Amino acid sequence: MELNPCPGCGGHFKISEGDSHRYIGATPGCWAVFHAVLEREYSDPAYAVYHNRTVDAYAVQHPGTPSPQSTQSVGVHLLGLYLAIELGLDSLFITKLMGRALDEIAFHWLTPPTEPYTYTIQYVYESENAEDHVARVKSYSDSIWSAWKDHHSQVIHWAGELGF
pLDDT tens per residue, range 71-94: 999 999 999 999 999 999 999 999
Plot region of 64 (φ>0 → left; ψ -120 to 50 → alpha; else → beta): left
* Per-residue confidence (pLDDT) for residue 162, from 0 to 100: 96
Report the C-alpha gap between 140 and 69 in whole angstroms. Answer: 24
Structural domain that includes position 23: 3-161
Across the range 3-21, mean pLDDT stands at 86
- Please state the separation of Cα 35 from the chain's center in Å: 13
Provide the mean pLDDT of the chain: 95
CB proximity list for 125: less than 8 A, separation 6 or greater? 33, 36, 37
Q: Is the predicted pLDDT of residue 19 greater than 80, yes or no? A: no
Q: Which pLDDT does position 137 carry in this prediction?
A: 98
- Give residue-wise pLDDT tens across range 93-132: 999 999 999 999 999 999 999 999 999 999 999 999 999 9
* Residue 47 pLDDT > 90: yes
Q: How many structural domains is the chain composed of? A: 1
Res 20 pLDDT > 80: no
Q: What is the mean pLDDT of residues 16-28?
A: 80
Find how far residue 48's CA is from the centre of its chain: 15
Residue 44's φ and ψ, nearest 5 degrees, are: -145, 115
Dihedral of CA 88/40/42/33: which sign? Answer: positive
